[in-house]
Structures are given as C-alpha cells and as structure tokens.
C-alpha cells in the first residue's frame, strides 16, 4: 500500500527492517548450531508476521529460509561405493556423505548386523584414535570422516558392511553399504563333445571356464547366431547345441564372456564335419553346390565324347584292315592249284618234245 504521510512511511520501513533482521538472525543461528533447536533462541521466521503487517518482499525471503531450515533437519548420512563395481585386485572406498558434527565416533562391521566378532575398525573423534577389530584383514583403513578403504580387494570381500555411529547424546544410527567385487575374466575356450562329427550328428559346444555372475554370447562366421531350429542355447547361454550338422556348419565359432568389469572373447573354433556317403550325395548340399556338380558332369561328358568317337573310329579302321587281309589270303589259296597244274603241264610238254628229237635224227 502507498504510505499517506512521511511518518507512516518511516514507520513501515522500520518495521520491514526489523523483519529482515529477524530473518537474518534465524539463518545465522541455524548455521551456527546446525540442526539443534531450542525454544529460547529460535523461533520460526514467520513469528514476527503474526504481530503485524509484513511487506511482500520480506515474506518472499522468509519462505525459502523455512525450506532451508527443514532440509537441514532432514538430511541423513549416505554411503557410496567408489567404484560401484570393483575388479579383483583393485582398491575400493566406502565413502560417507553428510555426516553431522555431533558424533562421538564410528565403527565398521562386516555383514548387516552389529556384532563384536564382526567389527573391522573403529574411530573416536574427540582424540582422533583408531582401533582394529576381529574382522580386520590388514587391508582396511578407517578415516576421520567415517569412510572405509579396502586395498587389493578379493571376491571374498563381496557383501554388505554396516557403519555404526554414536552421537554426543549417546543416540546411535547405523547404515548399510554393499561392496561388489568381480574377477577379471580369462580368455574363454570352446570345447566340443565330438571332435569329428558325421553329417546329421548332434554336436554340443561349451564355453569355459564357468564363472559366477558372467554372461555368455556366441558368434558364428563373425556374426551373431542366426535364428534356426537346429541351434539351441542353454539357459545360461554357456552351451550351444547343433542338431543334424552339415558341412555348412563348420564355422568358425567364438564365444564371448562378460561381467561388470571385463569382457573377453575366445579364439575361433572350426568344426570338422565329415561327409557321410550313406546319407546320399545331396545331403546337406546347397543349391550352388548342386549346380556346380551338374556343370562339372556336363563338362566331363563334353570332354569324353570326342575321345569316345576317336576310339570308335580306330576300332572301325582296325576291323576293316583285318577283313581286307583275310580276303587276300583267301584269294592266294584259291589260285595255287591252277599254278601247280600249269607247272605240271609245262613239264609234261617239255618231256614230250625231248622224246621226239632222236626219231627225227635217224631219218637222214
């Protein structure tokens, strides 16, 4: 509202200043005393508002302060694992946040219960002294802010740990934190139940070694497994079963293991599938393979046909030659009696002429 007189304006300004001073004093008190509140020294910032009219700027300043005051009274300590997932052999810190200043000390216990035989270490704040307990392995260190460091962690360190806090008024509070430790995975190895399967056999491939909290994935020909009714994975994906294998299932196969801190892949594994002739020549053959066989057969026939014709031609020539020789020999055998008769006849004629010569000589 607009002031009507100068005196009224001065009075309203003085009242506004008093409200702001009251708000600032409450804030200072909260900062100085933390979450401790008493009736004599602290009252809600709007207490002055009940006594008279308050300008809007003072009211808007008081509202955020109330929110801040409530946050201070509700913030509780928390514990963070750094890192969240630890590899075996590394260091892990259970880091404590938002610890108030009214504590006498801390104690860390292994497990989710506060038991004397499971105490790891304790720290007293007033004299900054630390002591170890029965569950201390020699690798744990407790810090003044309550944080606990683990060095060279092992899988045995995996589990829950409890932080037990004692306040100045002897009230206690406990918080639980989880430590997760995983092994660095070695290179997996693929083994087979049948090193040389025949076609149509069933083959089981296993990815080893077996480790906890590890996922498995298979690859064939550098690709993820195809959807096939002849392929079956176990519940944990560690074994791969191949039904009715063919020569197209040779691979190579690889398996991959993974956990929150490491990934590893096996060397390629090739399956040596042996062809079984009793199963039929076309068993397991693709269309391309069959086409190649047909083309090869046709090419072979094309190459063999001229050779067959050449051999048949030679056979015909040989037969004709033998037939000609036989006819000639037959002809010679038929003419030989005539020749003998001619020789005999010539001989007789010659003898006859010789016998006539003396007769003709006696006439003179």
Q: Which long-range contacts (CB under 8 A, 24 or more apart) does 43-47 make?
A: 45/69, 47/22
Given pLDDT bands bounded at 50, 70 and 90, which one contains residue 282? very low
Using the Cα atoms of residue 345, residue 346, residue 351 and residue 353 in order, give the sign of their dihedral. positive
Given pLDDT bands bounded at 50, 70 and 90, which one contains residue 316? low
Neighbour-count burial for 230-263, b at 16+ CB within 10 Å, e otherwise: eeeeeeebbbbebeebbbebebebbbbbebebee
pLDDT for position 206: 96
Residue 127 is classified by DSSP as T
pLDDT for position 87: 96
Q: Look up residue 240 and give its two tokens.
A: 């791969």
Q: Report the pLDDT averaged over residues 103-114.
A: 94
Q: What domains are defined for the chain?
A: 78-182 (2.60.40.10), 189-271 (2.60.40.10)
In the numeric block, the tokens 């010679």 are attached to: 332
Using the Cα atoms of residue 27, residue 33, residue 35 and residue 36 in order, give the sign of their dihedral. negative
The CA distance from 181 to 261, in Å, is 9
Contact residues for 179 (Cβ-Cβ < 8 A; gap 6+):
81, 86, 92, 94, 150, 153, 157, 158, 159, 160, 161
pLDDT averaged over every residue in the chain: 74
Given pLDDT bands bounded at 50, 70 and 90, which one contains residue 39? very low
Evaluate if residue 179 carries a pLDDT over 60.
yes
- Least confident range from 44-48, 112-116, 140-144: namely 44-48
The CA distance from 329 to 271, in Å, is 73
Q: Which residue has the higher pLDDT, 225 or 349?
A: 225
Q: Report the pLDDT averaged over residues 272-294.
A: 64
Determine whether 96 is exposed, middle or buried from the number of CB atoms within 10 Å of its CB (0-12, 13-18, 19+).
buried
Q: Report the pLDDT averaged over residues 268-286.
A: 70
pTM: 0.54
Could you tell me if 84 and 95 are in contact, meaning their C-beta atoms sit under 8 angstroms apart?
no
Beta carbons within 10 angstroms of residue 43's beta carbon: 14
Evaluate if residue 349 carries a pLDDT over 70.
no
Evaluate if residue 10 carries a pLDDT over 80.
no
Q: Which residue has the higher pLDDT, 323 or 147?
A: 147
Cis? peptide before 83, omega within 30° of 0: yes
The CA distance from 205 to 245, in Å, is 12
């Amino acid at each position: 509202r607009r002031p009507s007189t100068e005196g009224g304006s001065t009075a309203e300004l003085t009242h506004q200043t008093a409200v702001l001073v009251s708000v600032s004093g409450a804030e200072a008190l909260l900062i100085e005393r933390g979450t401790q509140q008493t009736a004599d020294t602290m009252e809600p910032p709007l207490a002055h508002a009940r006594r008279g009219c308050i300008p809007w700027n003072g009211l808007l300043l008081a509202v955020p302060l109330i929110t801040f005051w409530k946050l201070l009274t509700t913030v509780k300590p928390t514990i963070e694992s750094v890192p969240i997932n630890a590899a075996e052999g590394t260091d892990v810190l259970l880091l404590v946040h938002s610890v108030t200043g009214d504590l006498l000390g801390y104690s860390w216990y292994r497990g989710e219960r506060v038991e004397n035989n499971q105490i790891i270490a304790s720290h007293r704040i007033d004299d900054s002294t630390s002591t170890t307990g029965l569950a201390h392995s020699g690798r744990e260190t407790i810090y003044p802010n309550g944080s606990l460091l683990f060095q060279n962690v092992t899988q045995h360190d995996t589990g829950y740990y409890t932080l037990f806090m004692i306040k100045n008024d002897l009230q206690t509070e406990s918080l639980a934190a989880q430590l997760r430790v995983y092994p660095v995975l070695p290179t997996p190895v693929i083994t087979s139940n049948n090193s040389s399967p025949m076609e149509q056999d069933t083959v089981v491939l296993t990815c080893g070694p077996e480790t906890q909290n590890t996922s498995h994935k298979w690859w064939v020909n550098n690709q993820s497994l195809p959807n096939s009714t002849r392929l079956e994975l176990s519940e944990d994906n560690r074994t791969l079963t191949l039904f009715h294998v063919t020569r197209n299932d040779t691979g190579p196969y690889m398996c991959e293991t993974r956990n929150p801190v490491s990934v590893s892949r096996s060397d390629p594994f090739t399956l040596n599938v042996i062809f079984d002739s009793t199963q039929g020549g076309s068993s397991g053959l693709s269309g391309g393979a069959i086409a190649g066989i047909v083309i090869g057969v046709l090419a072979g026939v094309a190459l063999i046909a001229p050779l067959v014709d050449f051999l048949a031609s030679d056979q015909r020539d040989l037969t004709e030659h033998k037939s000609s020789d036989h006819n000639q020999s037959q002809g010679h055998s038929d003419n030989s009696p005539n020749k003998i008769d001619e020789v005999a006849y010539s001989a007789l004629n010659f003898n006859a002429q010789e016998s006539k010569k003396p007769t003709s000589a006696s006439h003179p």
